[in-house]
Amino acid sequence: MRRIILALTLCFTLLATGATSATATPTDLDSCPSDRPTLYDVTIGNTNVADYASDGHVWALDSYTQHVQVWKIGQKHYCFRIEYDGTWTSFAGASPGSTGTISAGLTGTFHALRILRLTGEFNPRYPLSGHVADFDWQCGADGSCTGPRPSPGMYFSPITSVNSTWDEYHATSDGYGSWSDTRYGYSGDITG
């Protein structure tokens, strides 16, 4: 899921390909073991986040709330379930699915889900529940972002590795279509 990964990876820019103990890791990497106690459960606000299309151009700015739940799955190994619910506002240019064009100022909603595995030391600097922070990324149409962003460093330090095991993103706009970006590829488009 390259589109949302490009934007969301700014939140989680770290080494990839972490490995966890075989005995501590659930067999289904597309989910977290919610039957275990939650380490923390928070929400984080994000505004002016660059939204990347299937060909890599920025087609919109997003504003959303992240719901972050984290479980300990082994010695220094953690599973993140992050849901994103928000809105987008388009830039004029190529559509996100690259089948046509999109007008400036078109709006819609989106929902995304990401599952991450992290290896590191739990060292929280923010509360473990509730709404903990708001970040204005201050991104532009060229994808440059000058504002602060959330990161796992809010709760872990040092971090040895981060591995994304599931990503999906679904955007819609009434009357203009829908576009999905998952680890299996892109589908649909939003034009107008």
Token duo for residue 171: 């955007």
Q: Are strands 38-52 and 129-136 parallel, antiparallel or unpaired?
A: parallel
Using one digit for the tens of pLDDT, what is the confidence trace for 25-55?
334 567 898 888 899 999 999 999 999 999 9
Q: What is the pLDDT of residue 16?
A: 32
DSSP code string of 46-73:
EEEEEEE-TTS-EEEEEEEEEEEEEEEE
134-179 residue pLDDT tens: 999 999 999 999 999 999 999 999 999 999 999 999 999 999 999 9
Give the pLDDT confidence of 91-147 residue by residue, as tens digits.
999 999 999 999 999 999 999 999 999 999 999 999 999 999 999 999 999 999 999
H or E stretch including 2?
helix 2-9
Nearest CA to 12 among 96, 85, 115?
A: 115
Q: Which residue, among 123, 115, 112, has the nearest Cα to 152 in the 3D structure?
A: 123
- The strand pair at 58-74 and 38-52 is best described as antiparallel
Say which residues have a Cβ less than 8 Å from residue 143's Cβ, sequence separation at least 6: 6, 50, 52, 58
For residue 158, say if its preceding peptide bond is cis, omega within 30 degrees of 0: yes
Q: If we measure between CA atoms, which residue out of 83, 181, 68, 84 comes closest to residue 118?
A: 68
Q: What residue segments make up the domains of the chain, in order of their start? A: 2-17+38-190
Q: Quick one: pLDDT band at residue 5, thresholds 50, 70, 90?
A: very low
The answer to whether 84 and 77 have CB atoms below 8 angstroms apart is no
pTM (two decimals): 0.83
Q: Rounded to whole angstroms, what are the CA distances from 19 to 29, 68, 75? A: 12, 21, 12
Residue 188, SS3?
Answer: strand
